[in-house]
Amino acid sequence: MLPRDYIARCATHYPDRIAYHDGDRALSWQQVHARSDRLAAALQGLGLKKGDAAAILSHEHLEVYEHLYACYKTGLLRCGINWRYAPREMLHVIRDSNARVILVQANCVPLLAEILDDIRADGRILIGYGGAHGLQHDYETLIDRADARPRPTELDQDDLIALSYTSGTTGLPKGVMLTQGAMRDSMLYTVLGIGLRYEDVWFPPTASGWITFVLGSMNLMNGMTVVLPNGDFDTARFLQFVGRYRVTATIIVPLMMQRLLDEYDRGGYDLSSLRLVTYGSSPARPALIRRTMDTFGCELMQLYGITETTGGWVSFLHHDDHLRGLSERPELLTSCGRGGVHMELSIRDERGRPLAAGEVGEVWIRASTNMRGYLNLPDLTAQTLVDGWLKTHDLGRLDADGYLYLTDRKNFLIISGAANVYPSVVETVLAEHPAVREVAVIGAPHPEWGEAVVATVSLREGTSASAAELLAFCRPRLAKYEVPKHIEIIDDLPKGLTGKVLKKNIQGWYRDNPARLPWKAVD
């Protein structure tokens, strides 16, 4: 079976069950199947065929998944455009993917203003929806006039199914090519690994412009209901929706977790239906884990995944692991768990040789969910995919019990003098200071050491701490070469679509404006 087959099965077996809630709108499985059939037929009527890219620029609404399923049914390559991208980046995604058609939510049309003439000059088809859009075609009109079903398309599990763009080393996003079989396995093993079931109401308040669109389609594997954030993540609306739709399971990032707890404390929210909170992008501090368990009264699970494994989660730190971490093995809370049953993990040195337990090296992955490669980047693909293995560029280690600990991205490893400094080690220590809300550690150019450890910190509301106090907190807890040579305290750290701190931006601050540092600029 391929992903499109699961759409038909859900519509047959659970026709009247709600597949998606989106604010005051909802679609049953029968409705989402019928509407995506008509959209698929409409796209074929516009001349699109198997292998063509169909892009979408949207916030989080039902149309995202109607478009996704229409692509699944016809062999079109689903391509999300991150609405937070600059116009230059959006145009790169459109041209790099050679998107034949672009679906645009009405409130996103102004984001294309600078590049709309270029898009039209390229001969690309624009379809608008969700209000007055002024584009060439209207979404609902196309659906109303389309045939009830698309023409049959022959598909194989090795065919491409989607292009997902992720940050690139050249400064422009790079397209990750994902296959039909990898998408099926990613959804299936994630549902099994997390333990989601038909009765669940799953709420992934994530942005679908990148690989997390997979999270919103995992209901294909068991028929469960998915709640959409009705636009974008908002803390108060999230908590309201949990009570309104009786949400049982969700996925967030630690930053969201902190904000949700603060909002919940203001009162008036019913979270009694919630049984599981999963979180990813980074480990959570022990204090945050305890507070979440006490406040929400549910189980916790941490996940580690990457775009290049089709968004399929590589490892799982289960609730029992969290309890052990709080009671007897605190180091487990800095782990991202043990590999999923569908993943083979290996830690390798720079020559690709396996390392023993406890040694730090690059995380390699072998799995059926691995990407086909990077679109139009054959050299980078050859460097990343080696003999069936995916080189993640994440540095980490496996302990004797198989728990995976990520130390950092290879790109962010700091070499200060002759010493390797892993930013995550320093960040973990600073994050334990009671005044610290967020922290990012990077390497900044230094005239003597080559690179120096620099920490950028934001403080909790109602607290205070000076850079000198924070340095004093670090000294007994870190090696001398790991202690930051400079700490800058700011209001908020820059973040991307997933809530991750944008370290590249912070590096740019010090590279482009060395006067921020208390030493002479490097020539």
Once rounded to an integer, what is the mean pLDDT over residues 374-379? 96
pLDDT value at residue 408: 67
Task: Report the alpha-carbon distance of residue 115 to residue 187 in Å, rounded.
Answer: 35
Once rounded to an integer, what is the mean pLDDT over residues 21-27? 97
pLDDT for residue 286 is more than 90: no
Write out the DSSP string of 307-367: GGGTT-EEEEE-HHHHHHHHHT-GGGGGS--EE-TT-EEEEE-TTS-B--TT--EEEEEE-
Q: Where in the chain is the domain with CATH 3.40.50.12780?
A: 233-409
Task: Report the alpha-carbon distance of residue 49 to residue 56 in Å, rounded.
Answer: 17
For 427-450, what is each residue's pLDDT tens digit? 888 988 999 999 999 998 887 777
Task: Single out the residue of 428, 419, 498, 489 nearest to residue 451, CA to CA.
Answer: 419
Buried b (16+ CB within 10 A) or exposed e, 381-400: beebbeeebbbbbbbbbbee
pLDDT for residue 523 is more than 60: no
Task: Single out the residue of 285, 334, 280, 337 nearest to residue 306, CA to CA.
Answer: 280
pLDDT value at residue 418: 57
Q: Which fold has domain 233-409?
A: Rossmann fold (3.40.50)
pLDDT for residue 295 is more than 50: yes
Q: Are 344 and 392 in contact (CB under 8 A)?
A: no
pLDDT value at residue 400: 96
Angle between helices 29-45 and 3-13 (to 10 degrees): 140
Class for domain 3-180, per CATH?
A: alpha beta
Q: Where in the chain is the domain with CATH 3.40.50.980?
A: 3-180
Inter-residue long-range contacts of 255-258, CB under 8 Å, 24+ positions, other chains counted: 255/438, 255/495, 255/499, 256/205, 256/499, 257/284, 257/288, 257/292, 258/288, 258/437
Task: Single out the residue of 518, 507, 279, 267 nearest to residue 411, CA to CA.
Answer: 507
For 141-185, what is each residue's pLDDT tens digit? 999 999 999 999 999 999 999 999 986 544 578 999 999 999 999
Write out the DSSP string of 272-308: TT--EEEE-SSPPPHHHHHHHHHHH-SEEEEEEE-GG
pLDDT value at residue 497: 60
pLDDT value at residue 170: 47
Q: Where in the chain is the domain with CATH 3.30.300.30?
A: 413-516
- Provide the whole-model pTM: 0.83
Average pLDDT across the chain, whole number: 92
Angle between helices 62-74 and 29-45 (to 10 degrees): 60
Task: Report the alpha-carbon distance of residue 311 to residue 163 in Å, rounded.
Answer: 12
pLDDT value at residue 429: 87
One-letter amino acid of 235: T
Q: With bands split at pLDDT 50, 70 and 90, how would you rate the model's confidence at 257?
A: confident
CA–CA–CA angle 218, 496, 339 (5° rounding)? 45
- Provide the percentage of residues in the chain whose pLDDT is more than 90: 76
Comparing 84 with 522, the larger pLDDT belongs to: 84
Task: Single out the residue of 327, 303, 332 nearest to residue 399, CA to CA.
Answer: 332
- Choice among 60-64, 237-241, 376-380, 460-464 with the minimum mean pLDDT: 460-464
pLDDT value at residue 167: 64
Once rounded to an integer, what is the mean pLDDT over residues 213-220? 97
CATH superfamily for 413-516 is ANL, C-terminal domain (3.30.300.30)
pLDDT for residue 425 is more than 90: no
One-letter amino acid of 490: I
Q: With bands split at pLDDT 50, 70 and 90, how would you rate the model's confidence at 30?
A: very high
